[in-house]
Amino acid sequence: MIIGFHHPGIVVPDLEKARQFYCDALGFRVIRNYDWDESFSETAERVMGVAGTAAKCLLLNGQNCFLELFEYQEPKSKGDPFSRQANDNGLAHLCFQVTDIFMAFEQVKSAGAITHGEPVQVGEGFSIYIRDPFGNILELAQISADEADFDLMQKNVAQSP
């Protein structure tokens, strides 16, 4: 039985730059730093279905979730996240609820986020999609009082719906 959402994993080309962005701009903190090479590759392949992996990793802790960051040395990543659009099939974005979207927006911009506009009022709240420095789509959302059922501060997310 599922007890809750635990973490997303994001592949990045520069683990230190990712640490700076997610910790400094979004308030995550590093709780584990690990890596694997050929000695763990067989186990990793059984878990992920990718042969011959080697990676450096960080496990971060946020307000109500964990975030796992991977920088693969082998095999090298393919594709360009900057060419991915929010409407493409697959994971569309990660959303972070914030208490002050304008302050959070300035923090992520100064930390290297790619923006295409300013926060937009949606109902009584605010929302904006941005990209982290590696092209991954993130959303910042300030939830309004009229959406208490969608507010992490109002709803005990550990309880069943």
Nearest CA among 33, 93, 27 for reference residue 65: 27
Mean pLDDT to the nearest integer, 25-39: 90
115 pLDDT band (50/70/90 cuts)? very high
Backbone φ, ψ for residue 142 (5° rounding): -105, 110
Say whether pLDDT at 38 is over 80: no
Query: Token match 């959406």: residue?
Result: 147
Residue 154 or 84, more confident: 84
| Predicted pLDDT of residue 158 | 44
Q: Per-residue pLDDT for 160 more than 70?
A: no
pLDDT score at 142: 92
- pLDDT, one tens digit per residue, over 66-84 is 999 999 999 988 888 889 8
CATH fold for the domain made of 1-78:
2,3-Dihydroxybiphenyl 1,2-Dioxygenase; domain 1 (3.10.180)
Query: Model-level pTM?
Result: 0.83
**CATH superfamily entry for domain 79-156:** 2,3-Dihydroxybiphenyl 1,2-Dioxygenase, domain 1 (3.10.180.10)
Q: 88 pLDDT exceeds 70?
A: yes
Q: 102 vs 69, 91, 133, 141, CA distance in Å?
A: 26, 25, 19, 10
Closest C-alpha to 108, from 144, 69, 140: 140
- Average pLDDT value for residue range 11-33: 95
Helix H, strand E, coil C: the string for 56-92 is EEEEEECCCCEEEEEEEEECCCCCCHHHCCCCCCCCC
Domain boundaries, the chain: 1-78, 79-156
Q: Phi first, then psi: what are they for 102, rounded to 5°?
A: -70, -40
Kindly tell me if the per-residue pLDDT of 161 is higher than 50. no
Distance CA 90, CA 32 (A): 27
What pLDDT is stored for residue 116 in this prediction?
87
